[in-house]
Structure formats: C-alpha cells, structure tokens
Amino acid sequence: MNKGELKKKLTPEQYRVTQEKGTEAPFMGKFVDHHEKGMYTCVVCGTPLFPSDTKFDSGTGWPSFDKAIPGTVTFTEDNDSGMKRTEITCTNCGAHLGHVFDDGPTDTGKRYCVNSVCLDFHTS
C-alpha cells in the first residue's frame, strides 16, 4: 500500500505513529484499560500480533504484552531520543508499533509497550 492509500485508510494519528514512528500520549489510548478476550492485530495490515492473554497492566500508560506471536514482530535497535531501546515493527508491513523492554513481570521478562493506535482488536 502506498503512502497516499495509507493516508486515506488510517486516521492522521494512526499514520503519524505507524509510518512516522510517533508515540501517542500515555493513558489516552483505547486499549490501555481493555480486558476483552481476543486478538490484537496490526491496524495497517491486519496481521495477528498479540493474543489477549499476553496483555498485562504495566502502569506505563500504553498497552503492554509479555510476548508476541512468533515471527510477527521485527526488532531494531533504536538510539533516538538519547535512549537505547529496541523498536518493534510489524514484520508483514513494517508499521511502527512501539518498543520492547527487558523489565516485564512474567517469566518472559519482556514488556512490549505498544501504541493503541497501532492496533485493532478482534474477539475470539
């Protein structure tokens, strides 16, 4: 999908975050306090990314997950903003999702910190 088609499909905020590596404001996203059972998918291409049973409340203001479906997320070193982080993008379409940190509370030790605007949700 080219940039013109993406601008028509996505809201301005979805485009800014997924295509320009932006970040939504904390505690404002629709999935921060979302607890339904189902699947979180990429808003751009629909790829399933995070089952709802991997979501936890991190208190950070963004939806957090302890693991992604294997092969659906690409990891890239991100040293922007003067911090050493690992960016996560959708492997299928390249949409920016957020970052992953090594401070998760479960046995994976991971916290996938994802912008709500990058996600859709489907009940199972």
What three-state secondary structure class fits 120?
Answer: strand
d(CA 113, CA 101): 8
- Do 96 and 17 contact (CB within 8 A), yes or no? yes
pTM: 0.94
DSSP 41-78: EETTT--EEEEGGGEE--SSSS-EES---TTSEEEEEE
Residues with active-site annotation? 113
CB atoms within 10 A of CB 31: 22
Residues of the chain short of pLDDT 50, as ranges, are none
Residue ranges covered by each domain of the chain = 3-123
pLDDT at 122: 97
Any idea how long the chain is? 124
pLDDT in tens, 49-69: 999 999 999 999 999 999 999
Pick among 3.40.50.2300, 1.10.10.200, 2.60.40.2480, 2.170.150.20: CATH of 3-123:
2.170.150.20
Q: Per residue in 68-84, is it b (16+ CB within 10 Å) or e — as a string?
A: bbeebbeeeeeeeeeee
pLDDT at 6: 94
